[in-house]
A and B are shown apart, each in its own frame.
Chain A
Amino acid sequence: MAKPKYLVGIDLGTTNIVVTHTPISSASEGAHPEISLMPIVQELAKGAIEKLEVMPSFIFERLKEKPVLEWDDESKFIIGDYARERGADVPDRLISSAKSWLCNTRIDRTQPVLPWNSPEENTKVSPLTAMSMFLRHVRHAWNAEFGKDKLEDQKVVVTIPASFDAAARDLIVEAARMAELPDVTLLEEPQAAFYSWISQGDKPWRQQVKKGDVVLVVDVGGGTTDFSLIEISEAEGDLALERVAVGNHILLGGDNMDLTLAYVARSKLEESKKKVTQWQTVQLSHQCRKAKEILLNETDKDSVPVVISGRGSSVIGGSMKTSIERSDIEKTLIDGFFPFCDMNDDPVEDTEGGVREISLMYAADAAITRHLAKFLRNQNSNDKQYGFPQAILFNGGVFRSEIFRNRLIEVINSWLNSAGKEPIKVLEGIELSQAVARGATYYGIAREGKGIRIRGGVSQAYYLGIESSLPAVPGFKPPLKALCVAKQGTEEGTTKDVPGRTFGLVIGKTAEFKFFKSNCRRDDEFAQMIDELDETFEDTSSLMIELPAYEGMKAGDLVDVGLQVAITEIGTLEIYCQAKSGNHRWKLEFNVRDAIK
């Protein structure tokens, strides 16, 4: 393996992928290194290729298009910009939002299921494979650009949503391995945005925050919304950073806004007895996005005409015209996605009862403010008031628009005000759509010891489900207790034995442990037993182990094991069974195959 020369950050977004890099040597240059974007070469229509700063996270199964990228000679799939373009015409062959499918616990994420609900004759791939295809494309693009400094030899950081649980994190590492990137480090996206803010040189970050501040990072991307809280503390006379909380995975983003506006325009057209096809809705969505940007940026305009051209060669004769009004933006986007609400409000739950078709778990409530209210409320405990942050850092393309930023600030301030707190301070200076990728590279620098590092550790607390030992009572299931095996915030590179717990495992039999997570039980200590599982616990992929026979033991023998928990340097959680006699230990694997009921 060649010596690594670059630090590489890959923002593996739900809708867009961005890659940044910096030479390792520049890490020594201090706090403001030159971080460059690597344009990703992609296939375009008509057998053309082009390097683009952003690669849309779309995969399209080829029809007759001939592969043009040299490494794609045999590939059945188009990845990137042209995939998105073709997918608008032939949606059954398009894989989108693969990352959101990767953390969908209702499906087997290793089975070929995407494109979801597409006809049988189409080739399907698993969410895991889809993610590895993106990473493979990035690797090829990098290697075509950098020649002998191959990506597999560089120090690579891949970003993931903060809400990804331990099993989903494992799957990303597995996808990277499948893409022949054996050594990647994971970083949560909101943290990456924060690193990006730290690395910007316009206004030194130390002047913007002070000890004791809690920074709320709100990341509204194309398809997902992510919240994190970072606390500014002090260590050895300098400011220190600690990520103290992460939110749940919310499938809600900027694309929902464009789609909402498109439906508004469509209903307007249909009111005037004009028929709009599915294809035209896609075009309408593009037009509406442009109209939205005009209305959001040019405050003097009250209305923007939206025209969709006829599909046939009669471009004028077949055209349809309507307009997007300022009131539409205010009503549907600002009030729809960022409504005023109380801090005690909950997101409106899905009222659809009974059977629900498996699909992406889109947020039932589009109100980002209500999701945020619930998140912040849960972070307040007796001794810590994390729910009342002092500063806010915006990330994601949606917040390029000042109107949305202002509305969110207004809402948060109303909460702070009613709690008797100071208004929130806005941290500025990051480039919203590239911040995550840039921050990922900066994290690489920090890992080299050349920059400040956010102490993050485990994003949530994890618990092993343990059945209480009670006398058997027919028809009564012994209540489940929860053993805390990872305290929220446990740092990377820690390995601990769980004291006082011995489990008897039978060799040759599969043992399965129920596994829970919680992102709001910050006071639970490592190895603490919690007697009652309330709604603050969340089911996650169970853990499985099958002990092989060893050292003269045979199938059916009982082995006493203790538990050992490791938070790895790359950001994954590993749990081992350690034999009480001898030095054997076995890793518990996440069961990502069985859906969680």
Chain B
Amino acid sequence: MLILSIAAAAGVYIVYRDDISPTMAEVEPALTICKGLIAEQWHTPLLAGIALFWLLTLLMSLAILFERKKVAELTAEKPPVAEVVPPARDDEAKKQLELLRQQLSEAEKTMSETRDRANQLLSQNEDLKNQLEKFSVSSSEKDELAELKSEIEKLQSTAKSRAEAAEKAEAELANLKSEQQKNSEEFAAARNKLEKLENESKTARKEAEKAASQLKGAQNDLSSKTEEIASLRKQLEELNEQLKSAQADARGGKNAIPPAAYQILYMFQKEGRLIDLLKEDVSGYDDETLGGAIRPIHEGCRKLLEDRLILEPVLNEEEGSEVTLDEIDPEAIKLSGSVPASGPYTGELIHRGWRLKECNLPELVSGWKGNVIAPAEIEIS
């Protein structure tokens, strides 16, 4: 009963205290007890209060009574002491008296303290009584309580819906959290990528810088090379000049191949296929084939001798006739047989000889290039 009373009191105290605002969830158990008490045993705290009151009053009465008995006993023992005490023993008695007096004041002190305490307890009791009265007043307002209850219920349902909402919110929060986690994962991945890219760009930049420096180096090289080339070109020009003069020399020289040699071979091949004829093994062909095939070759080569390498006989007399010459140019006339020491020379004309009367070769603008006299031919179909 006492425990219940205390608990109830505590519950009421907590419920009605304004300065404490616990959450609904926290007060729920206490509230339940309180509710139970209020709903079913609302009379119990009253009984408990009354019981406590009586108990405390009893205890206090007992304590007061007990203290009073002690003082009375001390006061009753005093006369015998005075009688017994010899004059000699006056001092001693005085001392004892003094001690007693001290004891008395102490006792009085204790008593006043006890009284104070009792008063205190009384006032406390009074307080409690007031509170109880107050409580009984409020409990008498049962309707208000019902209202309160419904309000509480409302609050509860609100709390419940809120709890549900909270739950929902929690679930959403959880969702959001998972999403966020996902996002954060993605974000992390993106960040990684970015970092990677940054790294890459860094390396690229480094490479570009490297390339730029290389380019610069190359440009420097180039400019130096250009200078070199310029000087080389100069040298080349000089060499060309030397070559030209050397060529000019060589043309006169006995071992040089004059361009006209190429040109004449080229023309005999081009116009008459003469080189092909002379280079071909003709032993396998019968005379008819050979004779027929030679016709265009003869024609082409003959035309060259008509147009470009124009020949005339050294002597115009008929071959086989007798000729007489006073003087001879050994370059133009070859004497054979029994030749006298000096002219006039008379004999039979064996061969009229040939001299190159005219040479109409096309003008080569910059000499004969290379040593090809008939190019290889490829036909693309």
Interface residues of A (CB under 8 A from B): 44-50, 68, 279, 287, 290, 305, 307-309, 311, 313-317, 319, 321
Which of B270, B273, B362, B364 is close to A315, meaning CB atoms less than 8 Å apart? B273
- Decide: A316 and B277 in contact? CB cutoff 8 A: yes
Given A45-B270, A290-B299, A309-B296, A315–B379 Cβ distance below 8 Å? no
Contact between B292 and A317, CB atoms less than 8 A apart: no
Are A48's CB and B270's CB within 8 A?
A: no
Partner of B293, one of A47, A307, A311: A307
Chain B residues with Cβ under 8 A from A48's Cβ?
263, 361-365
Partner of A307, one of B296, B361, B366, B377: B296
Are the CB atoms of A316 and B289 closer together than 8 Å?
yes
A279-B379, A316-B280 given. 5 additional CB < 8 A pairs?
A: A45-B270, A307-B296, A309-B296, A316-B289, A321-B293
Mostly helix, strand, loop or mixed at chain A's interface? Answer: mixed
What is the interface residue range for chain B against chain A?
Answer: 20 to 34
Chain B 338-376 interface mask (CB, 8 Å, partner A; 1/0): 000000000000000000000001111110110000000
Q: A45-B270, A308-B296, A321-B292 are in contact. Are A313 and B279 (CB under 8 A)?
A: yes
Query: Do the beta carbons of A315 and B276 come within 8 Å of each other?
Result: yes
Residue interface mask B271-296, A partner, CB < 8 A = 1: 00100110110100100011011111
Residues of A within 8 A of B289 (CB): 316, 319
Q: Are B292's CB and A47's CB within 8 A?
A: no
Q: A47-B364, A319-B292 are in contact. Are A313 and B276 (CB under 8 A)?
A: yes
Cβ A47 vs Cβ B270 within 8 A: no
Residue from the list B293, B364, B369, B379 in contact with A319, Cβ < 8 A: B293
A50 to B366, CA, bound (A): 14
Bound together, the chains give a CA A48 to CA B267 distance in angstroms of 12
On whether the beta carbons of B280 and A307 are closer than 8 Å, the reply is: no
Using CB atoms, name the residue of chain B closest to A50. Answer: B362
**Residue of B295, B296, B297, B364 contacting most chain A CB atoms (<10 Å):** B296
B266 contacts chain A at the CB level, 8 A cutoff: yes
The CA-CA distance from A387 to B227 in the complex, in Å, is: 81
Q: How does the 8 Å CB contact mask read for B294-313 relative to A, with 1 for contact and 0 for none?
A: 11110100000000000000
- Residues of B within 8 Å of A50, CB to CB, are 362-363
With A46-B263, A319-B293 known as contacts, the answer to whether A314 contacts B362 (CB < 8 A) is: no
Q: In the bound complex, do residue A317 and residue B280 qualify as a contact, i.e. CB atoms below 8 Å apart?
A: yes
A45 to B377, CA, bound (A): 15
CB atoms of B295 and A307 under 8 A apart: yes
B277 to chain A, nearest CB (A): 5
How far does the alpha carbon of A305 sit from the alpha carbon of B297 in the complex, in Å? 13
Nearest chain-B residue to A321 (Cβ)?
A: B292
| CB<8 Å pairs between A and B, sample of 6 | A49-B362, A279-B379, A307-B296, A315-B277, A315-B297, A316-B280
Q: In the assembled complex, which residues on chain B have CB atoms less than 8 Å from the CB atom of A313? A: 276, 279-280
Chain B residue, CB-CB nearest to A47: B365
**Which chain B positions have C-beta within 8 A of A315?**
273, 276-277, 280, 293, 297
User: In the bound complex, do residue B362 and residue A316 qualify as a contact, i.e. CB atoms below 8 Å apart?
Assistant: no
**Cβ–Cβ contact A317 & B285, under 8 A:** yes
Contacts of A68 on B, CB cut-off 8 Å?
Answer: 365-366
- A279 to B377, alpha carbons, bound, how many Å? 12
Residues of chain B within 8 A of A47, CB atoms compared: 364-366, 369
In this complex, the member of A46, A307, A319 whose beta carbon has the largest number of chain B beta carbons within 10 angstroms is A46
Q: How far is the CA of A50 from the CA of B263 in the complex (A)?
A: 14
Which residues of B are found within 8 Å of A287, using beta-carbon distances? 296
* B365 close to A309 (CB less than 8 A): no
How far apart are B299's CB and chain A's nearest CB, in angstroms? 7
The one of B266, B285, B296 that contacts A46, using a Cβ cutoff of 8 Å: B266
A47 and B294 CA atoms in complex are apart in Å by 29
A46 to B269, CA, bound (A): 13
User: Are A307 and B273 within 8 A (Cβ)?
Assistant: no
Known: A307-B296, A315-B293. A46 touches B364 (CB 8 A): yes
Instruction: Check A309 against B280 for contact (C-beta < 8 Å).
Output: no
A317, B279: Cα distance in complex, Å: 12
Check B363 against A49 for contact (C-beta < 8 Å).
yes
Q: Measured between C-beta atoms, what is the minimum distance from B115 to chain A in Å? A: 135
Q: Complex: how many Å from CA A48 to CA B361?
A: 9
Cα–Cα distance between A315 and B273 once the two chains are bound (Å): 7
In whole angstroms, what is the CA distance A290 to B363 when docked? 27
In the complex, what residue of chain A is closest to B296 when comparing beta carbons? A307
List, in ascending order, chain B residues with CB within 8 A of A319's CB: 289, 292-293, 296
Residues from chain A with Cβ under 8 Å of B377 in the complex = 311
In the complex, what distance in Å separates the CA atom of A309 from the CA atom of B299?
A: 12
User: How far in angstroms is the closest Cβ of chain B from A472?
Assistant: 61
CB distance from A90 to the nearest CB of B (A): 9
- Residues of A contacting B290 with CB < 8 Å? 316
Measured in the bound complex, the distance between the Cα atoms of B363 and A49 in whole Å is 5
Q: How far is the CA of A261 from the CA of B68 in the complex (A)?
A: 176
- Minimum CB distance partner of B377 in chain A: A311
Cα–Cα distance between A46 and B265 once the two chains are bound (Å) = 13
Docked pose: A321 CA to B286 CA in angstroms: 14
**B295 to chain A: which residues have CB within 8 Å?**
305, 307
**A314–B364 CB distance below 8 A:** no
Cβ-defined contact, B368 with A46, below 8 A: yes
A313-B279, A317-B285 given; A305·B292 CB < 8 A: yes
Residues in B neighbouring A309, C-beta threshold 8 A: 273, 276, 293, 296-297
Complex Cα–Cα for A356 and B369 (A): 49
A84 to chain B, nearest CB (A): 14
The 10 closest A-B pairs by CB, nearest first: A48-B362, A315-B276, A50-B362, A316-B293, A319-B293, A68-B365, A315-B273, A321-B292, A307-B296, A44-B362
The distance from the CB of A362 to the nearest CB of chain B, in whole angstroms, is: 26
Interface residues of B in 239-282 (CB under 8 A from A): 263, 266, 270, 273, 276-277, 279-280, 282
The residue in chain A whose Cβ has the minimal distance to the Cβ of B290 is A316
Q: With a CB–CB cut-off of 8 A, which chain A residues contact B368?
A: 46
Which chain A residues lie closer than 8 Å to B277 at the CB level?
Answer: 315-316
Min Cβ gap B308→A in Å is: 10
| B280 contacts across to A, CB distance below 8 A | 313-317
Contact partners of B282 in chain A: CB under 8 A: 316
Report the Cα distance A48→B366, complex, angstroms: 8
User: What chain A residues lie within 8 Å of B270 (beta carbons)?
Assistant: 45
Chain B positions within 8 Å of A316 at CB level: 277, 280, 282, 285, 289-290, 293-294
* Shortest CB distance A89–B (Å): 8
* A74 → chain B closest CB, angstroms: 16
When distances are taken between beta carbons in the complex, the residues of chain B under 8 Å from A307 are 292-293, 295-296
Give the Cβ gap from B296 to chain A, nearest Cβ, in Å.
Answer: 5
Minimal beta-carbon separation of A91 from chain B (angstroms): 12
Q: List the A side residues contacting B365 at CB < 8 Å.
A: 47-49, 68
How far is B269's CA from A315's CA once the two chains are assembled, in angstroms?
A: 11
Residues of B contacting A44 in the complex (Cβ-Cβ under 8 angstroms)? 362
CA of A308 to CA of B377, assembled, Å: 17
A45 neighbours in B (Cβ, 8 Å): 270
Q: With A45-B270, A47-B369, A307-B293 in contact, is A314–B276 under 8 Å at CB?
A: yes
Which residues on A sit within 8 Å (CB–CB) of B366?
47, 68
Q: How far is the CB of A562 from chain B (nearest CB, A)?
A: 59
Q: How far apart sit A290 and B299, CA to CA, in the bound complex (Å)?
A: 10
Chain A CB within 10 Å, residue with most, of B263, B285, B361, B365: B365
- Taken together as a complex, chains A and B put the C-alpha atoms of A46 and B289 apart, in Å, by 33
Which residue of the partner chain B has the closest CB to A85? B270
Roughly how many angstroms separate A311 CA and B296 CA in the complex, as a whole number?
A: 13
How far is it, in angstroms, between the C-alpha of A305 and the C-alpha of B362 when the chains are bound?
31
Q: In the complex, which residues of chain B have a beta carbon less than 8 angstroms from the beta carbon of A311?
A: 377
Measured between C-beta atoms, what is the minimum distance from A242 to chain B in Å? 43
Minimal Cβ-Cβ distance residue in A for B364? A48
Residue of B nearest to A70 (CB): B365
A68 to B279, CA, bound (A): 32
Q: Which residues from 91 to 114 on chain B have a C-beta closer than 8 Å to any C-beta of chain A?
A: none
Q: Which residues of A contact B362 (CB under 8 A)?
A: 44, 48-50
The distance in angstroms between the C-alpha atoms of A307 and B270, with both chains bound, is: 16
Q: How many whole Å from A62's CB to the nearest CB in chain B? A: 15
A290 CA to B296 CA, complexed, in Å: 11
By a CB distance below 8 angstroms, the chain B residues around A321 are 292-293
